[in-house]
Structure 1
Amino acid sequence: MDTSTKLDPTTVGRRGAEILKQMQAHPLWERFTTSSMRYSPCWATYTGMPAISKFDLDRDGQPLLVEAMRALALKAAVYELTGGDEKISELLLPLPVDDMVHAVLAQHTVMSHIERDLGVLFPHDTALEDFAYHRGCDTDTFYAAAGWGGQPLRYWLDTVEVDRRIAHLNGLYGSVGIAAGGRGHDIDFDTMFTTATAA
């Protein structure tokens, strides 16, 4: 959701950067990052991450983790600065980064401890997500104000480009019986393995 508010980007960026630094200094940070990376076999989706050109989880996992943490820090800053407005806090994110946000939030216990200790909340509600990320939106402005340098465009893909890539991927998936962006397939494992065993 593009905020379209009068939030001062410098204030959001400064607070987001501060939240991220506090997270990195937290005693559970190493456990959090280690457990997040160990979870990588479960990250696979058919949409967000595969939209990255020549995607390789071993190479791209750590940089995506960095971007997800930055995104969550900005979302937490907006949530705090708007008095807990979940809708405004659901910043527009590119699908590959959003996929990683979901993977990070799966570390629920560690994240809950960090939230409690830092006195912040990392808002995320899929019902409020709007997959309309575009270059130049409020998220980009806040990111720049945080002082993290330029966003790696390998991951910060405009929604129009992601949609184009996913349409191509869906064609490829369909050729092997995988449909609806991975939400269904016509592979009959029951007969496949029964036949192979009988032979």
Structure 2
Amino acid sequence: MSATMPTPAEVVGRATQVMAAVMADEEFAAFEAATLGYSSDWQCFTGFPVIERWNLDTDKAPLFREGLRALALKAAVFDLTEDERLAEVPVAVPVDEMTHAMIAQPQLFARIAERAGFALIHQTDQEHTDYEAGCFTNLAYRLTWGEPPSRYWLPAEEVERRLKILTARYASIGLDRAGREHDISFSAA
């Protein structure tokens, strides 16, 4: 194993294997149902809402697939390098948010990963949401599955632009710091 970053082409085979193994696993249906059923608790104001005309019901299944692809790419890099930091490749904010929903099913996902023979790579303090066209993840994704859906794979600069819009909208209804605080008195409401 190498502690240097592989090329995007070098991860294609392993990412494809990981994705296929996860989807073929005996507990995949339960994992998918648990992840998507958890959606009523997805209350992040700065993750999924950066998607234009975000709709939980219609977007959650495609985002689930994209989250799996992101984790498969991370697993492939880890398999080639055995380096968790290198494996934390750039992921678009909405896709990263979905990976959090997936990892919130730890027992199911750990058993699937063990049977499929890959490591789950995701540590929030090491993640990179600086995804952009031409970055490692973008190139590896394109070689593995084709063009990433631009609805979900938003460049970091566009995410920042949209967050400014969202933050202003949230503030207009009393949700400050992009939904991280408010001064609503529920007893008075």
Match of 1:151 among 148, 153, 161: 148
CA contact (8 A) 2:167 2:176 kept: yes
Structure number with bigger Rg: 1
- After superposition, give the CA deviation of every residue in 1:26-69 in whole Å (9 maximum; x if it has no partner): 10001011111111111231112111111101111100000000
Name 1:140's counterpart in structure 2: 138
Question: Separation in 1 of the partners of 2:118 and 2:129?
Answer: 25
Which stretch shows the higher mean deviation, 137-146 or 57-66? Answer: 137-146
Provide the alpha-carbon RMSD of the alignment: 1.1
- After superposition, give the CA deviation of every residue in 1:136-183 in whole Å (9 maximum; x if it has no partner): 10001111222x121100111111111001101100100111111221
Name 1:171's counterpart in structure 2: 168
**Quick one: structure 1 residues 116 and 6, their matched pair in 2 at CA, closer, same or farther if it must change by over 3 Å?**
closer
Match of 1:186 among 178, 183, 189: 183
Name 2:57's counterpart in structure 1: 58
Unpaired runs of 5+ in structure 1? 193-199
- After superposition, give the CA deviation of every residue in 1:104-151 in whole Å (9 maximum; x if it has no partner): 1101110011122122111101111233211110001111222x1211
CA contact (8 A) 2:92 2:156 kept: yes
CA contact (8 A) 1:13 1:144 kept: no
Q: What TM-score comes out, normalization by structure 2 length? A: 0.94
Question: Separation in 1 of the partners of 2:129 and 2:5?
Answer: 22
Question: Separation in 1 of the partners of 2:20 and 2:141?
Answer: 14
Following TM superposition, by how much is the alpha carbon of 1:6 offset from its aligned partner in structure 2, in angstroms? 4.6
How many residue pairs match? The answer is 186
Question: Separation in 2 of the partners of 1:45 and 1:110?
Answer: 23
1:120 counterpart letter in structure 2: F
Unpaired runs of 5+ in structure 2? none
Question: Separation in 2 of the partners of 1:65 and 1:41?
Answer: 15
CA contact (8 A) 2:63 2:152 kept: yes
Off by >4 Å, runs of 4+ in structure 1: none
Following TM superposition, by how much is the alpha carbon of 1:14 offset from its aligned partner in structure 2, in angstroms? 1.2
The reply on whether 1:100 has 2:104 as its aligned counterpart is no
Question: Separation in 2 of the partners of 1:68 and 1:177?
Answer: 32
Name 1:112's counterpart in structure 2: 110
